[in-house]
Amino acid sequence: MLTWNVFIEDFNKKRIEVHNVFEHGRFLEDCKRALKKHGNNREQFAKEIRSDLMYYYCSKCEWEIVLTSWPQRKYFEDKKIDVYEQVMLNWQRFIDYVWNNRAELTL
């Protein structure tokens, strides 16, 4: 199974946890659909995956965490970051990983 981990907050457990973006059922299904639709066109495949990633993970409070300094300082500004932004930090590596392991999407 494909694995790309990010940090999220588990509200029920009240802690920060690691989450595999491919464990979001619809995102994984959309990756499979994009591969069927675009076949060997990597650029179009990447464009659609990016759009799907944005749809499921961008600017939704359940997928956001707040980064801060430790120890926390008054003069440091906290930064809110969502799953989409975490993936985009390594977008080229992410899409290389998905593309190079696309056989996993056909299973």
pLDDT in tens, 34-77: 999 998 999 999 999 999 999 999 999 999 999 998 888 888 89
**Which residues are 16's β-sheet partners?**
9
pLDDT tens readout for residues 5-16: 999 999 889 999
Greater pLDDT, 62 or 107: 62
Output the pLDDT for position 74. Answer: 84
Output the pLDDT for position 30. Answer: 97
Domain coordinates in residue numbering, the chain: 5-106
- Cα–Cα distance for residue pair 78/39, rounded to 1 Å: 42
Q: How confident is the model at residue 82 (pLDDT cuts 50, 70, 90)?
A: very high
**Which residues are 19's β-sheet partners?**
6
* Residues 82/64, Cβ–Cβ less than 8 Å: yes
- Cα–Cα distance for residue pair 8/20, rounded to 1 Å: 10
- Cα–Cα distance for residue pair 5/18, rounded to 1 Å: 6
pLDDT (mean) for 9-30? 94
Count of CB atoms situated within 10 Å of the CB of 20: 13
